[in-house]
Structure formats: structure tokens, C-alpha cells
Amino acid sequence: MPARISTDSNLFKAMEVFVAIVETGQMTAAARLVGMTQSAASQHIANLERSYDAQLIDRSTRPVKPTQTGELMYRHATRILNSVADLATDLRHKGPHPISRLRVGMLASTATTLSVPLVQLARDQYQVQDMTLRAGQSGDHETLLRTKEADIVISSNPFYDMDGLERHPVLTESFLLVLPASYDGPSDNLGTILSRLPLVRFADTTNVGRRTEQHLRRLKLDVPRVIQADRSSMVTACVARGMGFTLLTPTLLIDGFVEGMPMNIRPLPVAGLSRRITAVARDKELGPLPAAFATAARTALIDQIGRQMGETGLGAVSTGEDA
């Protein structure tokens, strides 16, 4: 009989925290990824070091790095955690159907549009009976993938810094200029618009907010932070009430149009700001399903954009790897 492992799930959780610290280089970021407080994460690492009577993290460096013993622990921990995840996947998929349970993460802005077609596809073509859907931002998707709480995500981040994933393009979309319906001033210069209206924008905690901020900085535009939000419907609601203007993609505008918010949509007067939506799953775990999800998501989104925005929205959307 093999030797009994000292502590059950606490050991696995401590290893999960340790791996997150090594991969992020920060205790705070690692704690956020595994869904706990920084003090709880620190306690897990202290318990792990005490259990093996070894210092695993060099806390004197920034970012923090594993010690030589920590490097050894990292190699073993990643292998153990991957094996545990593989076991869970195999057990979930064992039964009369090849994929008995499926957990899906989606962007909040696309969740309403994608939920029904993706559920129908999973049930009709892959006989999935147990399906969990979660809406959020790309940062939430990173946590779901790292903690293996999602099998596939439809996200605006392809997570190229994470190994062991397969990626299938859904679409690429350019940002558009979104003005209040009552706006009658010039729309060909962002500086001029900023002199008349404040920018309503996504918060810096979101991928869209960071991308927008970086692009405006490249354009050397000093934009005061007046109104920030972390949901597209909140941004568009403020614009619809004449509180400012914003920069959003067609998929980020879907909820606003569905809710009947009056907006004046124009092409963005500056080039180079776009985002790509990708279906991301752990490599080779779901067979052809991730690619099928990408195709179904593309069809549903383009159809919804066409219905709500017509050619204004479709002109900002392209598909395929090189889009």
C-alpha cells in the first residue's frame, strides 16, 4: 500500500496556491487567482513549508521567486495538480455520453446572446446533460482556467501565457465611437469630442478598460476619469442619458440595443483599436467541441449584431485567424 499523504485537500489547495505564486510572482495576484484572501494564501504557503521543512519562496525578491527547493516543489506540484484535474475530467466524462458535464465561461456582454445556442449545441450534438454557464470578464476566465473550474471559455483574452490550452478564433471586432443620440457636433476628432463631452469608459480592472487607456495614451490624449464601470450596459446607459460618449465594440453594444437605449454609432476616427474573441479550452480534452463552440458563437454574435446594428456593426467585425 502506498504511503498515506499527510493532509487531504488542504495539501492540494496549498500546492495550488504555491503554483499560482510562482506563475504570477505576486502573493496578492495568486490569492486572487485561487479565490482567497492574501492572508489565507500566506497561511497555506507557511503550512506547506512547515510540512516539508523547507523554504519554498524567496520573499526578498520582487517579483517573488521559488528557491531551489521551491523549483523542485513546483515541478512536482504542477504534475500532481494536472493529474488530479485529469482524474476529475475522466470521471466527469465517464458514462453513456463522452462529455457528461460541461462548465462554460462567457463574456458578460455576450452571455445572453450565446447561452441558448451553445446549450443547444452541447445537448443536441454532444449529448451533454449537465451544463454550468458563468458570465464575467476575461480576468474571471483566467481564474476559471487556472483553477480548472471551467472546461471552455469564450473570452477576449486568448491567454497565450498559459500552457496546455487550445484556442479557436470566434471573431475580431473594431471599436466604434458611441455618442448620445442627441449629439450634433463633429465626430471626426476625439480631442474635439472630449472638449464637448466626457468619456464614459470601462474601469481599469477590465481588459477593455486597460486596452482603451493604453490606446488613448498612445494618441497622447489626456482623458480625465469621470465615469467608469465594469459592465457594458452600465456604460451605454450613461451614454444614452447624454452623460458622455464611449468607445465600444459591436458585441459590447448588444445589450444596450436590446434594451432600446438610444445611441449614435459612428466609425472610430482613429485606427488600431480592436479586440479578438476566442474560444479557449484545455488542450484535447473535449475533442471537436471547442471548435464547434467557436463556430456557433461566431454565427450567433454576427446574427445578433446584424439584427441590432445593421451594417454599422457588421462593418466593424471580421472573422478567421488573420482577422
What is the domain-level CATH number for residue 131? 3.40.190.10
> Could you tell me which residue, 178 or 321, shows the higher pLDDT?
178
Same structural domain, 156 and 294? yes
Give me the pLDDT at residue 203, please: 87
Residue 213: pLDDT over 50: yes
* Domain end position, chosen among 37, 66, 91: 91
Residue 227 lies in a domain: yes
Give me the pLDDT at residue 132, please: 94
Give me the pLDDT at residue 192, please: 92
| Residue 127 grid coordinates | 449529448
Residue type (1 letter), 288: P
Same structural domain, 254 and 127? no
* Domain end position, chosen among 91, 122, 143: 91
Give me the pLDDT at residue 118, please: 97
> Could you tell me which residue, 323 or 223, shows the higher pLDDT?
223
Same structural domain, 43 and 162? no
Instruction: Please tell me the total count of domains within the chain.
Output: 3
> Could you tell me which residue, 288 or 95, shows the higher pLDDT?
288
Q: How high does pLDDT run on average in the chain?
A: 87
173 pLDDT band, cuts 50/70/90, is very high
Same structural domain, 190 and 260? yes
Residue 3 lies in a domain: no
Residue 319 lies in a domain: no
Give me the pLDDT at residue 258, please: 87
Structure confidence by residue, pLDDT tens digits, 223-239: 877 789 988 999 999 99
CATH number at residue 69: 1.10.10.10
Same structural domain, 112 and 49? no
Structure confidence by residue, pLDDT tens digits, 111-145: 999 999 999 999 999 888 889 999 988 888 988 88
Residue 317 lies in a domain: no
Contacts (Cβ under 8 Å, ≥6 apart) of 125: 292
* Domain end position, chosen among 91, 125, 154: 91
Give me the pLDDT at residue 9, please: 62
Residue 322 lies in a domain: no
Q: Report which of 47, 45, 40 is spatially closest to residue 58, judged by C-alpha positions.
A: 45
Element housing 52 (H / E) = helix 38-52
Residue 110 lies in a domain: yes
Residue type (1 letter), 268: L
Residue 22 lies in a domain: yes
Residue 316 lies in a domain: no
- The average pLDDT across 67-78 equals 90
String of DSSP letters for 214-283: HHHHHTT------EEESSHHHHHHHHHTTS-BEEE-HHHHHHHHHTT--EEEEE-SS---EEEEEEEEET
98 pLDDT band, cuts 50/70/90, is low
Structural domain of 54: 8-91
**Would the pTM of this model clear 0.75, i.e. be above it?**
no
Same structural domain, 303 and 223? no
Give me the pLDDT at residue 94, please: 54
The Cα–Cα gap between 273 and 285 comes to 33
254 pLDDT band, cuts 50/70/90, is very high
Same structural domain, 263 and 193? yes
Same structural domain, 158 and 293? yes
Same structural domain, 184 and 268? yes
Same structural domain, 46 and 111? no
4 pLDDT band, cuts 50/70/90, is very low
Structure confidence by residue, pLDDT tens digits, 19-53: 988 988 888 888 888 888 888 889 999 988 988 89
Residue 180: pLDDT over 80: yes
Same structural domain, 161 and 281? yes
Same structural domain, 164 and 282? yes
Structure confidence by residue, pLDDT tens digits, 146-157: 888 899 999 999
